[in-house]
Amino acid sequence: MSETNDAPLQCLIIGSGPAGLSAALYAARANLAPIVLSGMDLGGQVANTDAIENYPGFPEGIEGPDLVDLFQKQAERFGAEVVFDSATGVDFSERPFKITTYAGEYLAETVIVTTGASPRLLDVPGEKELTGRGVSYCATCDGHFFQEQDVIVVGGGDSAVKEALFLTRFANSVTIIHRRDKLRAGILLETRAKENPKVKFIWDSVVTEIIGEDAVRAVRLKNKKTGEETEHPTDGVFVFIGHIPNTELFEGQLDMNEQGYLISDRHMRTSIPGVYAAGEVTDDHFQQIVISAGMGAAAAMEAVEFLEEN
C-alpha cells in the first residue's frame, strides 16, 4: 500500500469488474504496476452471473466467476495487484490524486474509475424489510433457496428474462411481471422464455407492495391499463429493473449526466485530466462485458500516453 509520503502510484484502478481488470491488464503490460481496489465484490456484477454466452472466445459459454478469475490471473501475471479494499473518498483537485480507502490512503498520478453500477430497487413498501428474506437481486446467489417454490421476476429486459430462465432450474414456476405488454429483452431470450413451460407472464403490471412478515408471502400488483389491484402469492421476488451507476464518490469532482453516469469522451477521459472512466459507470447504453472490457483497455492506453506526456 502506498502511504501519502511514498512515491505515488503510476495508476490506481477503482473497481474490479471487466473494465477494471482489463484496464489492469493493459496498465500492467505497460509497466505501470497498477493497483486495483476490488470494492466489496471482486469482479462486480459478472461475479454474480451464470453462463455468459456472448463473451468472445468462449464458444460454449463461461460462468461469471470463472471469467473474473481468468481476468484477474491474466492481469496479475503482468504485475497488477488486486487489493481487497474500497475507495471511501477521492481528491482530484491536484496531482498526484489522493484516494482514501478503508485501509488507508493512496497517491496516484492517474486514476481509472471502473466502479460499475448497482441494481435499481423497486422502492415499494416491504422491499427493504424483506431483502434477504425472499427479496433478491441476484438469481445466481439466491436461486437455490427456492427449490420447488413459486417465484416472481420483476422486469422485462435481458437481465430479467435471462435470470428467470436460470431460476427455472430450481423453482416450480417463475412468473415475469412486466410493466408493459412487450419485452425489452432480445428475441433469443424471449423465445427461450416463451417456450419454457415453467415461465409465465403477467403483463402491464407493476409491483406496488411486497407482503410478508418473516418471509415473502405475496406481492400486490396493479394493472397499469385497468387500474385493478390484485394480490399474487409468491415465495420469492427477484428484481431486475436496470441499474444505477456507482458514482456517489465522485459527486462535485467529475462531470456526470442527469442519470448520474460519469461523462467520458471516446478516449475515456473524464472532466479531470489524468482521471479516466470505463465500463458501466460511464456506459448508460450498451452495458456489455465485452464493451466494458474494451473501454477498460482503452482507458489504460490513454493513461500510459498521459504519463508519457506529463
Grid coordinates given for 298: 482503452
Residue whose C-alpha is closest to residue 176's, from 150, 207, 153, 203: 153
Q: How far is the CB of 55 from ligand NAP (least distance, A)?
A: 10
Active site residue 142: yes
Active site residue 138: yes
Question: Is 97:256 a contact under the CB 8 Å cutoff?
Answer: no
Residue whose C-alpha is closest to residue 241's, from 170, 152, 143, 166: 152
Question: Is 300:112 a contact under the CB 8 Å cutoff?
Answer: yes
Among 51, 83, 202, 206, binds ligand NAP (CB under 6 A): 206
Q: What DSSP state is assigned to residue 262?
A: B
Interface segment toward ligand NAP; rule CB under 6 A; list 26-34, 84-92, 157-165, 218-226 = 157-165
Distance of CA 201 to the CA centre of its chain: 26
Could you say whether residue 156 binds ligand NAP (CB under 6 A)?
yes
Could you say whether residue 92 binds ligand NAP (CB under 6 A)?
no
Q: Map grid coordinates 437455490 to a residue.
A: 144
Q: Map grid coordinates 482530484 to a residue.
A: 92
Between residues 98 and 178, which has the closer beta carbon with respect to ligand NAP?
Answer: 178
Q: How far is the CB of 116 from ligand NAP (least distance, A)?
A: 12
Between residues 129 and 181, which has the closer beta carbon with respect to ligand NAP?
Answer: 181
Site for ligand NAP in 220-259 (CB under 6 A): 240-243
Between residues 172 and 196, which has the closer beta carbon with respect to ligand NAP?
Answer: 196
Q: How far is the CB of 180 from ligand NAP (least distance, A)?
A: 5
Between residues 98 and 243, which has the closer beta carbon with respect to ligand NAP?
Answer: 243
Q: How far is the CB of 153 from ligand NAP (least distance, A)?
A: 10
Q: Give the span between the Cα atoms of 306 and 308, in whole angstroms.
A: 5
Contacts 24+ apart (CB under 8 A), 41-45: 41/16, 42/16, 42/68, 42/72, 42/82, 42/84, 43/16, 43/17, 43/67, 43/68, 43/71, 43/72, 44/15, 44/16, 44/17, 44/18, 44/20, 44/116, 45/17, 45/116, 45/117, 45/243, 45/280
Q: Map grid coordinates 458514482 to a residue.
A: 247
Interface segment toward ligand NAP; rule CB under 6 A; list 96-104, 132-140, 158-166, 222-230 = 158-166
Question: Which among 142, 158, 235, 283 is annotated as catalytic?
Answer: 142
b/e burial code for range 249-260 (CB count within 10 A of at least 16 → b): bbeebbebeeeb
Among 10, 20, 45, 162, binds ligand NAP (CB under 6 A): 162
Interface segment toward ligand NAP; rule CB under 6 A; list 39-47, 80-88, 150-158, 251-259 = 150-158
Among 158, 237, 281, 296, binds ligand NAP (CB under 6 A): 158
Q: Map grid coordinates 466489496 to a residue.
A: 40
Q: Give the span between the Cα atoms of 189 and 50, in whole angstroms.
A: 15
Mapped onto helix, strand or coil, the DSSP state of residue 13 is: strand
Question: Which among 138, 150, 204, 284 is annotated as catalytic?
Answer: 138
Contact letters for ligand NAP, residues 28-47 (x by CB under 6 A): --------------------
Q: How far is the CB of 133 from ligand NAP (least distance, A)?
A: 21
Q: How far is the CB of 240 from ligand NAP (least distance, A)?
A: 6
- In the bound state, the residue with its beta carbon closest to ligand NAP is 157
Catalytic residues: 138, 141-142
Residues that bind ligand NAP (CB under 6 A): 54, 154-160, 162, 179-180, 184, 206, 240-243, 287
